[in-house]
Amino acid sequence: MPLVLGRAPMDTAEGKSVSAITGTRGSSSKMLVLAAMIFAVAMTFIDQTIVSIAVPKIQAELHLSINSVQWVVNGYLLALASTFAFGGRLADTVGHRKMVIIGIGVFTLASIACGLTPSTGTPAAAWIITWRVIQGVGGAIMYPAALAIVVSAFPVRERGRAMAIFFGVAGGLTAIGPILGGYLSEWTWRAIFWVNVPVAIIALALTFAARPVTQIRPGRLDWRGLVLIAGGVGLAVYGLQQTQVWGWSNATVISCMVLGVLLLVAFFRVEARTPGPLIDVSVFRIRAFRVQNIVLFVSMIVFIPIFFFASIYAQVALGDGPQGAGLYLLLFFFGFAPGVQIGGRRLDRSGAKEVVVAGCAIAALGLALWGSRVTQLSLGHQWYFILIAASAWA
C-alpha cells in the first residue's frame, strides 16, 4: 500500500495530524497501535492453522468430498489472494483505521456463519465454502490496512524491529491455533470459528483506544482491475484445483487455466494504462522488487499448504487425534517465533538480501531433511528438522 513517508504533518480525511507517518508518536502510543494491529491480524493467522486441525472432523460430520473440504481451505485463501490488492487500495483511499474496523467486522460475521453451517448435504458444502470466501474478503480488507498502520507508526530505523514484533507475536498467537483447535475439535469443530469473536472484541477495543492515524490518498477505485485480477486468479486456481477430479487433459480444466492466465496478462496491460491503478505494475520493472515478489510467491506456495497436509498427516499417518495434530503443528511455531526476531534485527542491520538468501537456503535444507523423515512415521525423527524449516521462514 503506498504511503508517503517523511512529509510534513497534514490534515487527513480522518481529521487528525499524521505525525505518525513521520515516526513522531510516543513510544507507548506506538506500542498500543502495534498491539491493536497484532490482534486484528491474529484472526487471519490463527485461521490458517486452526481450520486445518479441524478438517477431518468437518469432512466427517458434514459428509463432504475431499474436493469440497479442500475448497473449505482454498476458498478462503483464494478470496484473500484475489482481493488483497483491492483491499490495500481501498484502505489508502478510504482510511486504514476504518478498513481495519470493517475488515474485523466482516471476518467475525463470516466466522460466526461458518460455525452455523447446516448439518449435512450439498447445502452444507455451499454454505461453509461461501462464508469462507467472505472470510477471505474480510481478511483482504483488514490485513493490508493493519500492516500500513504499523509501518506508518514507526520511523524507518525502527521498522525492522516493529515488523519482527508484529509477526513474532502474531505468529505466537497463531501457535495457539493448533492447541486450541485440537481441544475445541474434541468438543465441536464449529467452535474453531467462534473463537474469532473474543479476539475480534479485543482487536476492536485496542484499535479504538489507539486511534491510529495514517495518510489518506483519495482517488477512484479501479473496479476493472479488480474484475480482471479476481477472475484471473480465480479461474487459474479453480482449474488447478479441479485437476485431481477431472484430470489434466479435461477441456474445462485447460480452458479455466488458460483463460485465467489471459485475464492476468490483460490485467497487467490494462493497469499499465490506467490512472490510479489497483496495482502500479511499473514497480515490477525494479529488479529488486521483482525478485522479492518471485521469492515470496515461491515460498508461499510451499508455506501455506504445510498446515493442511501436516494436520492430515498427523491425524491419518501418525494416528494422532486433533490434539496430537495440534502439538505437531505447534512445533513449527517454536522455530518461527525466535527466527522472526533474529530476521527482523538482521534486516535493520544489513538489509533484506542477506536475510532472504540465508532464509531460503535454510528453509530448503530443513524441508528436505523433514521430507526425508516423514515416511518413518515418527515425530521423534522429525521435530528438529521442523524447527529448522520454520526458523528460516521467519
C-alpha cell at 139: 481478511
Q: How far apart are CA 30 and CA 66, in angstroms?
A: 45
**Residues belonging to the chain:** 394
Q: Quickly list H helices, 211-286.
A: 223-241, 243-246, 251-272
C-alpha cell at 253: 480444466
Residue pLDDT, tens place only, 179-191:
777 778 778 889 8
Q: How far apart are CA 385 and CA 373, in angstroms?
A: 9
CB environment 136-168: b (16+ within 10 A), e (fewer): bbbbbbbbbbbbbbbbbbbbeeebbebbbbbbb
Residue pLDDT, tens place only, 31-84:
888 888 888 888 887 877 788 778 888 888 888 887 788 888 888 888 888 888
pLDDT of amino acid 167: 74
Identify which of 161, 222, 144, 116 has the alpha carbon closest to the alpha carbon of residue 23.
161
pLDDT in tens, the chain (394 residues): 333 333 333 334 343 434 334 344 555 688 888 888 888 888 887 877 788 778 888 888 888 887 788 888 888 888 888 888 888 888 888 889 999 999 999 999 999 999 999 886 668 888 999 999 999 999 999 988 998 888 888 877 777 777 777 876 766 666 666 677 777 877 888 988 998 899 899 999 999 988 887 777 777 778 888 899 888 988 888 888 788 778 888 899 899 999 999 999 999 999 888 887 888 888 888 888 888 888 888 887 777 777 777 777 887 788 777 667 777 777 777 777 677 667 666 666 766 777 778 888 888 888 888 888 888 888 888 888 888 887 766 5
- Residue 328 contacts residue 320 (beta carbons within 8 Å): yes
The dihedral over CA atoms of 117, 122, 125, 130, expressed in degrees to the nearest 10, equals -90
- Residue 224 contacts residue 136 (beta carbons within 8 Å): no
Q: How far apart are CA 177 and CA 189, in angstroms?
A: 13
Q: How far apart are CA 84 and CA 233, in angstroms?
A: 12
